[in-house]
């Protein structure tokens, strides 16, 4: 049930935004952004009307949605000043790391001006970037907000250099290069690409979409092939939910990894930082990010919208927000025909082998790893990745639901049910909301399985779930050459989670947080362990990324023992198993 007051307020805000736009009036909070190419910084003028508090506090977020790490956006903000709308200068003082206090002397209108350095590496990602030809803005890094006023309509306008273009998923406003947002949450979740870039417009399932490609020198990937893949991914996922939750979608593709190789989801867009390679394959990364349109942007824990930007927001359900998104991202590639059945089964066994290689799977539950994401680099905790374990939890829940309901229900039904219950302005789900939804959809009690998966450190019940679903599972300790590393699939490139002391990985110079780009010239994107299969004693050349630094490392493979896995269809399935397999593997 939706609290009536919250619903009325949300509808009123949406109508206020529309009416203000139609009438040519500005919302009470507006921004004007001017790139200063010489200083490589943005000048921001934020106008705040209807000020009722004295003094007035303005803030910059401590984090941005989708990345559960405390940021230092405040360190890039300079020359903060304020005045009344009539031009009277006001005193400004820092009232904390991310807070500026303005003595507004009872003035009802205040204009705050400041500079934001555009120093994010590459073409930008978590922050703001500015160069002679390009700009990128993650609004969380650039747009301050008055304390307590994040749920009001806002407008943002750009004064761009001659010849520059602009791309965003936001609705246009009533002026040139102006855009409006329902509230600050929508603004923060809507990045801007500025300057010179290649743009391709297309439709998927009747929804307008566009992809931008930002690059230096020559653009090497095949844009038509990439757009074709994006279209198929979008159509497959929209079909699963029976419709799209947005008016348009923006694929923002940076052909430079900068300080981060991967993707970040937004409310109606995604930013993908990848390399400018002729054989660029965005399918795995793009599929994961697009599924976030539903899972986490709309099907979300309560504290992930509306947002509190002042500090960590802890939930035990990031394994569902990210790991189950990884499950559906990869399943989409199978359902769409982009990968075959053998590739899909091998994807699963790769995930199993990765989890079984994590020593911390026996120390921390999936919920604990989720809550500690703020200390674990937004990937999990220790060497336990909630992307990895959550993928397998989603798989096991899906197969168990199909088996226990005789093939009548699946995790797909749970996702659609949660979308109906929690799509904004409806509130997000409680910490037990996923289990509640599974039980509501199936009419059965999944508490024992859910508890084991999410709240204990017991080994996942691969054998019993796979066998019941008509799959043959094999596992065992296998001797194989490889560096002593534990890797998590960081969406695009595998990310080093742990380097064992005195291992060859340590000798080579790999460190936790590095991204593996290639091994002996073979691209590592989408590979859970790109070092598997290399014999002991073999010389190895690794290309890696450490923040904005590109590394070339060399060494000789040592040996290791890891838990191998195999998965195949049972040769003589029962009628129930056949129904389960037919439903799960249907395209």
For residues 113 and 81, the answer to whether their CB atoms sit within 8 Å is: yes
Mean pLDDT of 544-549: 72
Answer yes or no: is pLDDT of 18 > 70.
no
Return the number of other C-beta atoms located less than 10 Å from residue 88's C-beta. Answer: 11
Confidence of residue 5 (pLDDT cuts 50, 70, 90): very low
Residue percentage of the chain with pLDDT more than 70: 90
Q: Which residues pair with 173 in a beta bridge?
A: none
3-state per-residue secondary structure call for 473-487: EEEEEEEEECCCEEE
Residue percentage of the chain with pLDDT more than 90: 77
User: Which of helix, strand or coil describes residue 170?
Assistant: coil
In whole angstroms, what is the distance from residue 105 CA to residue 358 CA?
A: 58
Q: How far is CA 214 from CA 166, 257, 311, 521, in A?
A: 12, 11, 32, 25
Of the two residues 218 and 52, the one the predictor is more confident about is 218
For residues 251 and 272, the answer to whether their CB atoms sit within 8 Å is: yes
Answer yes or no: is pLDDT of 348 > 60.
yes
Answer yes or no: is pLDDT of 479 > 70.
no
Answer yes or no: is pLDDT of 129 > 80.
yes
For residues 74 and 84, the answer to whether their CB atoms sit within 8 Å is: no
Answer yes or no: is pLDDT of 480 > 70.
no
Answer yes or no: is pLDDT of 266 > 80.
yes
Answer yes or no: is pLDDT of 559 > 70.
no
Return the number of other C-beta atoms located less than 10 Å from residue 337's C-beta. Answer: 10
Answer yes or no: is pLDDT of 487 > 70.
no
Answer yes or no: is pLDDT of 529 > 80.
no
Q: Which two tokens stand for residue 320?
A: 């569902």
Confidence of residue 561 (pLDDT cuts 50, 70, 90): low
User: Which of helix, strand or coil describes residue 178?
Assistant: strand
Q: How far is CA 169 from CA 155, 181, 195, 209, 469, in A?
A: 14, 10, 16, 9, 42
CA angle 426, 236, 167 (to 5 degrees): 70
For residues 365 and 317, the answer to whether their CB atoms sit within 8 Å is: no
* Strand arrangement of the beta sheet that strand 269-273 belongs to: 198-204, 207-214, 249-254, 269-273, 262-265
Mean pLDDT of 380-400: 96
Note the Cα 165 to chain centre separation in Å.
25
Confidence of residue 493 (pLDDT cuts 50, 70, 90): confident
Choose among 570, 173, 128, 273: nearest CA to 584: 570
Nearest 5°: phi and psi at 173? -95, -160
Residues making up the chain, counted from first to last: 587
pLDDT of residue 482: 41
pLDDT of residue 13: 43
Choose among 542, 548, 547: nearest CA to 529: 542
pLDDT of residue 159: 98
């Amino acid at each position: 049930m939706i609290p009536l007051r919250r619903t009325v307020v949300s509808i009123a805000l949406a109508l206020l935004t529309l009416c203000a736009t139609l009438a040519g009036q500005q919302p009470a909070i507006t921004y004007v952004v001017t790139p200063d190419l010489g200083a490589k910084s943005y000048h921001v003028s934020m106008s705040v009307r209807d000020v009722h508090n004295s003094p007035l506090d303005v803030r910059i977020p401590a984090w941005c949605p989708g990345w559960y790490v405390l940021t230092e956006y405040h360190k890039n903000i300079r020359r903060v000043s304020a005045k009344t709308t009539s031009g009277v200068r006001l005193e400004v003082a820092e009232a904390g790391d991310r807070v500026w206090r303005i003595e507004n002397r009872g003035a009802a209108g205040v204009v705050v001006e400041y500079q934001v350095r555009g120093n994010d590496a590459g073409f930008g990602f978590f922050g703001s970037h500015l160069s002679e030809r390009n700009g990128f803005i993650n609004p969380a890094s650039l747009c301050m907000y008055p304390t307590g006023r994040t749920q009001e309509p806002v407008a943002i306008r750009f004064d761009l250099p001659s010849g520059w273009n602009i791309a965003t998923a936001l609705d246009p406003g009533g002026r040139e290069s102006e855009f409006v947002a329902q509230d600050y949450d929508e603004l923060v979740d809507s990045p801007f690409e500025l300057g010179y870039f290649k743009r391709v417009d297309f439709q998927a399932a009747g929804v307008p979409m566009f992809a931008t490609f930002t690059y230096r020198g020559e653009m090497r990937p095949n844009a038509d092939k990439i757009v074709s893949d994006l279209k198929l991914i979008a159509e497959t996922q929209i079909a699963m939910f029976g419709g799209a939750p947005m008016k348009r979608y923006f694929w923002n593709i940076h052909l430079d990894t900068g300080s981060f190789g991967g993707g970040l989801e937004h409310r109606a867009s995604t930013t993908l930082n990848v390399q400018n390679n002729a054989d660029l394959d965005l399918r795995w990364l793009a599929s994961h990010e697009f599924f976030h349109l539903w899972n986490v942007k709309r099907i979300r824990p309560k504290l992930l919208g509306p947002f509190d930007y002042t500090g960590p927001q802890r939930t035990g359900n990031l394994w569902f927000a990210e790991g189950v998104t990884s499950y559906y991202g990869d399943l989409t590639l199978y359902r769409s025909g982009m990968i075959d059945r053998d590739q899909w089964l091998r994807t699963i066994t790769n995930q199993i082998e990765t989890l079984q290689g994590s020593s911390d799977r026996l120390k921390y539950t999936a919920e604990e790893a989720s809550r500690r994401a703020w200390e674990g680099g937004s990937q999990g905790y220790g060497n336990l990745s909630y992307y990895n374990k959550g993928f397998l939890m989603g798989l096991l829940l899906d197969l168990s639901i199909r088996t226990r309901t005789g093939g009548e229900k699946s995790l797909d039904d749970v996702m659609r049910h949660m979308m109906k219950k929690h799509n904004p302005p409806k509130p997000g789900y409680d910490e037990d909301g996923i289990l509640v939804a599974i039980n509501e959809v199936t009419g059965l009690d999944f508490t024992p399985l859910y508890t084991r998966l999410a709240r204990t450190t017991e080994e996942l019940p691969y054998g019993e779930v796979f066998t019941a679903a008509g799959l043959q599972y094999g596992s065992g300790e296998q001797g194989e050459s490889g560096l002593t590393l534990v890797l998590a699939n960081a969406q695009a490139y595998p990310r080093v989670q742990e380097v064992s002391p005195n291992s060859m990985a340590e000798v080579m110079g790999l460190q936790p947080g590095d991204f593996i780009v290639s091994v002996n010239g073979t691209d590592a994107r989408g590979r859970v362990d790109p070092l598997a299969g290399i014999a002991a004693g073999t010389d190895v050349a690794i290309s890696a990324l450490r923040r904005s630094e590109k590394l070339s490392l060399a060494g000789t493979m040592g040996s290791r023992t890891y838990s191998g896995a195999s998965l195949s269809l049972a040769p003589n399935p029962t009628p129930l198993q056949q129904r389960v397999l037919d439903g799960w593997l249907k395209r």
